[in-house]
Structure 1
Amino acid sequence: MSALIEFDNLHYTFPGSRMPALRGATLRIEAGQRIVLLGRNGAGKSTLLLHANGILRPAAGQVRLNGKPLEYTRRGLLMVRRQVGVVFQNPDDQLFSASVRQDISFGPLNLGLSIDEVRHRVAAAADLCGVGDLLDRPTHALSGGQKTRVALAGVLAMGPDILLVDEATSGLDPWMRRQVFAIFNRLVERGATVVLATHDLDAAQHWADTVVVMHEGRVAVAAPAAKVFTDPDLRAQVGPEIER
């Protein structure tokens, strides 16, 4: 099966830092998967995700989407962001419009879609994320869980093939987490891929098809979830990264 997105030997160091955030990270992601990305703080999870749609550009190595290298031009990045959506850990980093409707509309409008198509996408994404009754609410008046679902709707309105979620479920109560994971499942059923960077071992064991474990800026393991948690050799290899 051909990879939807490939990270090939990525190296990256944040400006002003002496410690590389990525040190040769390599990973293939295929279509229609539920993937959990594990690793301690500083392992490189968020940095890897930010390379997937060109927010960051590697110092060395290459990111390929559908077999083609990312182009870091305005046109190239627009094409990438049609296919790869990112939901940040803190929804306040993603919400900036006055109302929920305006915020969800922003991405599709940026794609140059017609007003009718934008309206259709906003309504569909809001319905999927359970925020259809909030469209005229100001974003600053939302609860934390509502903000997370609105941020998710704003990304989904762009119609991505792959959704990258950076710790966005960590601060939600159990009921809201179930709602968000239900949204993820519906996306995968439609053929999308969802990659969740998290410390949530329950999600890794019971939701993911594939578990990727990062350590010191590299991908230490990428394997079926059941194997990661049951294979003695893999447990020994990634031990501290997945121990409770």
Structure 2
Amino acid sequence: MVVISGIIEFRNVSYSKNNNMILENISFSLKKNKYNVIIGKNGSGKSTILKLIVGLEKISGGQIFIDNEELVYKRDELYKIRKKTGIVFQESNEHIIGETVAESLIFGMENNRIPLEKMKENMTKYVKLFQLENIIDKKTVNLSGGEKQKVALAGAVITEPEIILLDEVTEMWDKVTKDKMNGIIEEFLKDGKTVVSVTHNLEEIKRSDNIVFITEEGKIVTGKSEEVNKIIEKKENTEINHEVISEYSADLTKMSLKEEEIKVKIKDISYYYEKERKIIDSFSVNIPKDSITAITGKSGTGKTTLIEIISGLAFLGENFSGEIGYNFRNENKEKEDEKLLLYKNISERELYEIRKRMGIVFQNTGEQFFSGTVLEELEYNITKKYKIKNRKSKELNDKIKEIAELFGYDEKFLMKSPFVLSGGEKKMLGLALAVCLEPEILILDEPTGALDYNMTIKFMQIVEKTKKNGTTVILVTHDENIVKQYSDYILKM
């Protein structure tokens, strides 16, 4: 019989997938009733560890023990483990089951066969705890990224599990929401829960009780050793004060631009998600050409909605008013810029002319992939952009080689399935696919949330290079470091 009380131990565990060794002969313990964090570079297997704990993936060798009972891959035993474990992954859409927030919360309790009266009690308790009263009846498809992550966390803990597994859950939250959610997690610890968090966040690492660090060589270092302390020190040196952001980025709402300086002109737009619920209200701003504009603000203020409208992905029927103008380069370089307009009930043909000039990296980047390998994903975008019909042509091979060199992809990586990549690797591939299109406007939605320090720098260096080549970049972010170091303008919502 499997009994779970919170302590987890890996003994000489190995895990491989598609002939790729992801974890090799690793051993460590996660402390009971403590805040455990797992850190390491992107692709080191951090998220995989969480999946192994709940049996979503099966180890290739070694043993996993939960409260000194070995993990057994049998249906009934796995059900008992998952019933006592709450997990939140990076891509929150994986957790959103119901049509509304209420239905999503109820689903987990029904799945765990919680009695009706207890379900009612838990709904009241956790809706209040997570401050979901204003969105409890909201359709989940209309939630912001931060709201989805909050609902996913609420759904994971509403069943009152003994172990809570978190995979980069704080990265889509503004500072106020992040502080509130961290306070809730601290209360879980006081109630005797065990928390295991995969993170790159310095504050989480500093306040943790136990650190499991996966080194670049795939070895495990635990506790606050000298090697771990070096990581903390490096992160501290990159931290900045929230109050100084405005010193580095010009506030677009307070600027006046000349017509020839404008790439996107947003004029008096309003947008409804649901009847009588206006997410954007009479909003106007001009976004400069050949620049990086950071859109910031607390969760649920319409940041993602705004970039979906700009990119032509949002539905623009009776729920939309106002207009957006674009100054696009004319394919005939001798002619003036081509001016396009986005408005209510715009035709598909007109939308296509706008969309084809865009490159987009979504929050949940995995939703952008559909091919069997990384190479096939790149080939699709390149052949589409350059109208290449022969997949064995030198032109295509040269373009693939150029992108592979820019992003550091070797032949082995190109043959990987995009669906088995780590969260950070998926983000980088999303950027690679966008860069393939040589877009005039590059839109990034929380692009660095799942990235480690080194990959964040590499990602943003490529974004900067893209800007220098004539691309206007619009990014939604809660990362103050990104705003300080890379943005030319800031738009606060």
**Structure 1 length normalisation: TM-score?**
0.86
Query: Separation in 1 of the partners of 2:194 and 2:222?
Result: 15
Deviation track 1:119-152 (CA, whole Å, cap 9, x = no partner) reads 2223222222221332211111222221111101
User: What is the one-letter code of the residue matched to 1:172?
Assistant: W
Structure 1 residue 181: Cα displacement: 0.7
Is the contact made by 1:12 and 1:21 (CA closer than 8 Å) also made in structure 2? yes
Is the contact made by 2:202 and 2:232 (CA closer than 8 Å) also made in structure 1? no
CA spacing shift, 1:84–1:221, aligned 2, 3 Å: same
Identify the residue that residue 190 of structure 1 maps to in structure 2.
191
Is the contact made by 1:5 and 1:29 (CA closer than 8 Å) also made in structure 2? yes
Query: Separation in 2 of the partners of 1:217 and 1:58?
Result: 19
CA spacing shift, 1:40–1:111, aligned 2, 3 Å: same
Bigger mean CA deviation after superposition, 69-78 or 127-136:
127-136
User: What is the one-letter code of the residue matched to 1:94?
Assistant: H
Query: Separation in 1 of the partners of 2:6 and 2:154?
Result: 26
Query: Separation in 2 of the partners of 1:201 and 1:243?
Result: 10
Identify the residue that residue 9 of structure 2 maps to in structure 1.
6
Aligned partner of residue 13 in structure 1, secondary structure: strand
Where in structure 2 are the equivalents of 1:29-44 lying within 5 Å? 29-44=30-45
CA spacing shift, 1:4–1:111, aligned 2, 3 Å: same
Where in structure 2 are the equivalents of 1:1-244 lying within 5 Å? 4-14=7-17, 16=18, 18-205=19-206, 207-216=207-216, 218=218, 220-223=220-223, 227-228=224-225, 234-235=226-227, 239=230, 243-244=234-235
Structure 1 residue 4: Cα displacement: 1.3
CA spacing shift, 1:143–1:59, aligned 2, 3 Å: same
Structure 1 residue 30: Cα displacement: 2.1
Unaligned runs of 5+ in 1: 229-233
Percent of paired sites with the same residue: 28
Unaligned runs of 5+ in 2: 236-493
Structure 1 residue 163: Cα displacement: 0.7
Structure 1 residue 11: Cα displacement: 0.8
Runs (4 or more) in structure 1 with deviation over 4 Å come to 216-219, 237-242
Aligned partner of residue 213 in structure 1, secondary structure: strand
Bigger mean CA deviation after superposition, 175-184 or 126-135:
126-135
Deviation track 1:23-45 (CA, whole Å, cap 9, x = no partner) reads 11212122211122110001111
User: What is the one-letter code of the residue matched to 2:221?
Assistant: V
Structure 1 residue 217: Cα displacement: 7.7
Which fold has the larger relative contact order, with Cα–Cα distance below 8 Å and residues 6 or more apart in sequence? Answer: 1
Is the contact made by 1:11 and 1:24 (CA closer than 8 Å) also made in structure 2? yes
User: What is the one-letter code of the residue matched to 1:51?
Assistant: L
Structure 1 residue 242: Cα displacement: 7.3
Aligned partner of residue 79 in structure 1, secondary structure: helix
Deviation track 1:153-211 (CA, whole Å, cap 9, x = no partner) reads 11101211111100111222211211111111010011111111111123212x21222
Structure 1 residue 241: Cα displacement: 9.1
User: What is the one-letter code of the residue matched to 1:153?
Assistant: A
Query: Separation in 1 of the partners of 2:158 and 2:73?
Result: 23
Aligned partner of residue 243 in structure 1, secondary structure: helix
Structure 1 residue 81: Cα displacement: 1.0
Aligned partner of residue 76 in structure 2, secondary structure: helix
Larger Rg: 2
Structure 1 residue 46: Cα displacement: 0.5
Query: Separation in 2 of the partners of 1:24 and 1:169?
Result: 30
Bigger mean CA deviation after superposition, 181-190 or 68-77:
68-77
User: What is the one-letter code of the residue matched to 2:234?
Assistant: E
Structure 1 residue 51: Cα displacement: 0.8
CA spacing shift, 1:187–1:219, aligned 2, 3 Å: farther
User: What is the one-letter code of the residue matched to 2:11?
Assistant: D
Bigger mean CA deviation after superposition, 136-145 or 39-48:
136-145
User: What is the one-letter code of the residue matched to 1:212?
Assistant: V
Structure 1 residue 218: Cα displacement: 4.3
CA spacing shift, 1:3–1:165, aligned 2, 3 Å: closer
Aligned partner of residue 57 in structure 1, secondary structure: coil
User: What is the one-letter code of the residue matched to 2:108?
Assistant: G
Deviation track 1:56-103 (CA, whole Å, cap 9, x = no partner) reads 110111111111112222211111012221101121121121011111
Is the contact made by 2:6 and 2:162 (CA closer than 8 Å) also made in structure 1? no
**Structure 2 length normalisation: TM-score?**
0.44
